[in-house]
Amino acid sequence: MSRKAKASPYLKRPTDPIEIDRDRSVAGLLAKFEATSFQARNLAIAHNIWLNMLDDTCTIVLGLSGPLIPAGMRRLIAWLIRNRYVDVVVTDGLTVFHDIHESLGRQHYQGSPLTAASELQAHRIARLYDTLLSEEEVQEADEWLRSFVNMQDMSRPYATREFLNLLGHELSEIANEDGVLTAAYKARIPVFCPGVTTSPLVRGIAAGRIDRRSLFLFDVIQDVVEMAHILVGSTNVGALYFGSSLCSDFVCQAQATGTVVNARLRPLKYVVKVTLDGLLNGGTLLHPVEDADNWSRAAKELRLVTAYCDPTIALPMLVTALTQSATRQIKSRRKPTFTLGRDLVMSAA
C-alpha cells in the first residue's frame, strides 16, 4: 500500500465520482457536479451563483447572443423573463430577428450541416449550421419590420431599448405565444441590442433608407446611457452571459460610463459566462483566464465563473434546475421596476 501524501493546504477536497441513482432532479445532478471537476463543476457553480443573485438585492442582467432561438431556446428565455428570474436583457440582433420570425408564426426546422449549399439554395432555404428556415419567410419578416418602422416618428432617433419595447407591444397583439420581446414587454423589463448593425434585424430598415421612404435612426449612445443609469441605480448587479462577448462588452462599457455619472458606482457582484469562445478562439479548457479587470473594477466579493459549454446545453440544464431549486428565492425576491417610455426610469428593489 502506498504511503499517504504529505498534508497540503491544496489537497483538502477530493473529487467525488458521480453515483448512478434514481434521482431525476436536474438540480440534484448539478449538486453532484459540485464534487467533480472541469466544466461539470463550473456548471454547478453557475447554478449556485444564479441562486445567490436571486437571494440578494440584485438587478440581474441576461446576455444572449448567437442562434439560440433557431436552436429551440425561445420558450426557456421567455419563461425566465416572465417569471422575473432576470431583470434586464442584452442581446444581439440575430436573437431579435429570429424571435420576430417565430412571433410571426414561422418556424425553424431541423436539417443537416452536410447538405450541399447549392441544394438548399435551389429550394430557397437558409441554414444556420444544422437548422433551416425559408428564405421567403425571412423576406416576409424583413417586410413586416419595414412596415413597422414606417409607422414610427422619423423626426427623432430611437434607442434600441425603446424600439424593442414598441416592437414587443406590436408583436404581443398578433403572436400566439410569448417570445423574448413579447415576454419582456409584458413583464416591463428593458431589452437592449448592441451591435444591431451586424445582424439581419436591420435589413428591412436599411431597405427603407435606400429607397428614401424611411429616415429611421437608432441612437445607440442612448442605450449606453440608459444601461449606465441602471447600473448606478442598482444596489447590486449580477450578469448571466450566454454566447459571445458582445453583451458583456456592452455592459462593461456602460459600467465605465456609469463611473462618469457616479464615481462610487459598485462593480458587478456576480458574473456567469457560458460560452465556447475560449475554445474556438484558441483558449485553453483547463486554465481559463478569469481576469477581474475585464469586468471593470472587480468587486471584492465578486463571484465569477466561466463554463466552456454550448449554451444550448447549459441553458436548459440551468433553467430546469432553477425550477426545482429557486422556489423560495423567487417568492421572496425584491425586483427593480421600470417605466419604459421614450425615457427609461428605474426604481431599485
Residues forming beta bridges with residue 345, ordered by sequence position: 339
> What pLDDT is stored for residue 59 in this prediction?
97
Instruction: Report whether pLDDT(286) > 70.
Output: no
> Of the ranges 20-24, 33-37, 91-95, 121-125, which one carries the lowest mean pLDDT score?
20-24
Mean pLDDT of the 329-341 span: 95
In a domain, 13, yes or no: no
The pLDDT confidence band at residue 259, using thresholds 50, 70 and 90, is: confident
Total domains, the chain: 1
> Of the ranges 115-129, 282-296, 327-341, which one carries the lowest mean pLDDT score?
282-296
Instruction: Report whether pLDDT(291) > 60.
Output: no
In a domain, 182, yes or no: yes
pTM: 0.91
> What pLDDT is stored for residue 122 in this prediction?
92
Considering the chain, what is the average pLDDT of its residues?
89
Q: What is the distance between the alpha carbons of residues 330 and 325, in angstroms, rounded to a whole number? A: 10
Which residues, other chains included, contact 168 with Cβ-Cβ below 8 Å and sequence gap of 6+? 181, 182, 183, 184, 185, 186, 191
> Of the ranges 3-12, 228-237, 309-318, which one carries the lowest mean pLDDT score?
3-12
Do the Cβ atoms of 265 and 259 come closer than 8 Å? yes
Enclosing domain of residue 306: 26-347
pLDDT digits (tens, 9 = 90+) for 185-221: 999 999 999 989 888 888 888 887 787 677 899 999 9
Mean pLDDT of the 241-249 span: 93
CATH of the domain at 48: 3.40.910.10
> What pLDDT is stored for residue 295 in this prediction?
45
What is the CA angle 342-348-349, rounded to 5? 135
In a domain, 115, yes or no: yes
Instruction: Report whether pLDDT(281) > 60.
Output: no
- Among 264, 292, 288, 261, smallest CA distance to 275 is for 288
Strand duo 131-134 + 125-128: pairing: antiparallel
Instruction: Report whether pLDDT(261) > 90.
Output: no
The pLDDT > 90 percentage for the chain reads 72
Mean pLDDT of the 14-22 span: 75
Q: What is the distance between the alpha carbons of residues 226 and 240, in angstroms, rounded to a whole number? A: 19
Higher-scoring residue by pLDDT: 258, 20 = 258
The pLDDT > 70 percentage for the chain reads 90
Strand duo 109-110 + 303-308: pairing: unpaired
Three-state SS at 231:
helix
> Both ends of the chain: CA-CA distance in Å?
59
Mean pLDDT of the 113-117 span: 91
Three-state SS at 325:
helix
Q: What is the distance between the alpha carbons of residues 152 and 223, in angstroms, rounded to a whole number? A: 18
| CB-neighbour burial class of residue 151 (10 A; exposed 0-12, middle 13-18, buried 19+) | exposed
Do the Cβ atoms of 79 and 257 come closer than 8 Å? no
pLDDT digits (tens, 9 = 90+) for 224-243: 999 999 999 999 999 999 99
φ and ψ at 341, to 5 degrees? -100, -145
Q: What is the distance between the alpha carbons of residues 335 and 338, in angstroms, rounded to a whole number? A: 10
> Of the ranges 59-63, 148-152, 187-191, 263-267, which one carries the lowest mean pLDDT score?
263-267
